């Protein structure tokens, strides 16, 4: 019988626009030095637990790719098979991309910006809601990542706050109201030990 597997969800380290409090979305923004250190520290925590991985998945955005590269270097797994796909990209923030969050609140009002940021199904102008992000991230998770986990493989997914929240919603069977309370920090590994039928046996947050 196939043994349980580990799934690690890791949000990329701090990016330049995280630092500047800007809506980033699909804009390809680099990590800061702090973000690179967050990636190293995340991998060190995984290493101390003796975890290694069989395959990794990431988005096509450089802040996630670099975080994964740093982590694999620390883990000594530079040759791990890696799959990149835009299905794991951050939520697209549309007209808000590049805008400072405080300035946006001053322009549109705190309540409206809060709805755009934290609601489940209300997108910003020309952007995606969490529900929209879920519609691409979850099918990718089901078709590409779940079969690896069902086969007993340990999987590392390095992506973004909202694409990872979409996966967490699926894994933990959360409602659209419950997921609004979930925040995934940069550079903190979330570990799930899963049975072959993908029931969560254990969840660990390595902060």
Among residues 90, 128, 148, 160, the one annotated as catalytic is 90
3 state DSSP class of 157: strand
**CA-CA distance, 97 to 65, in Å (whole number)?**
20
Q: Decide if 160 is catalytic.
A: no
Q: Cβ–Cβ contacts within 10 Å for residue 144, how many? A: 16
| DSSP conformation class of 120 | S
User: Which stretches does DSSP call E strand in the chain?
Assistant: 5-11, 55-58, 82-84, 155-159, 190-194, 200-205
| List 12, 66, 128, 160, catalytic entry | 12
| Residue 201, SS3 per DSSP | strand
Cα 145–Cα 7–Cα 75 angle in degrees, nearest 5:
110
- Please report how the helices 161-171 and 130-140 are oriented relative to each other, as an axis angle in degrees rounded to 10: 70
Nearest 5°: phi and psi at 44? -60, -40
Q: What's the CA gap between 103 and 2, in Å, rounded?
A: 52
12 is an active site residue: yes
Catalytic residues: 12, 90
């Amino acid at each position: 019988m196939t043994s349980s597997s580990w799934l690690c969800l890791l949000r990329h380290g701090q990016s330049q626009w995280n630092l500047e409090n800007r809506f980033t979305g699909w804009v390809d923004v680099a990590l800061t030095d702090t973000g690179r250190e967050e990636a190293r520290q995340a991998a060190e925590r995984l290493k101390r637990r003796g975890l290694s991985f069989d395959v990794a998945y990431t988005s096509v955005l450089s802040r996630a790719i670099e975080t994964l590269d740093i982590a694999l270097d620390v883990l000594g797994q530079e040759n791990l098979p890696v799959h990149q796909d835009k299905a794991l990209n951050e939520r697209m923030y549309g007209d808000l991309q590049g805008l400072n969050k405080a300035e946006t609140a001053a322009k549109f009002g705190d309540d409206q910006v809060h709805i755009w940021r934290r609601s489940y199904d209300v997108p910003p102008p020309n952007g995606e809601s969490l529900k929209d992000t879920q519609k691409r991230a979850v099918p990718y998770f089901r078709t590409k990542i779940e079969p690896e986990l069902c086969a007993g493989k340990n999987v590392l997914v390095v992506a973004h706050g909202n694409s990872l929240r979409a996966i967490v919603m699926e894994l933990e069977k959360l409602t659209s109201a419950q997921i609004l309370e979930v925040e995934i920090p940069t550079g903190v590994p979330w570990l799930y030990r899963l049975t072959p039928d993908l029931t969560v046996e254990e969840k660990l947050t390595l902060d």
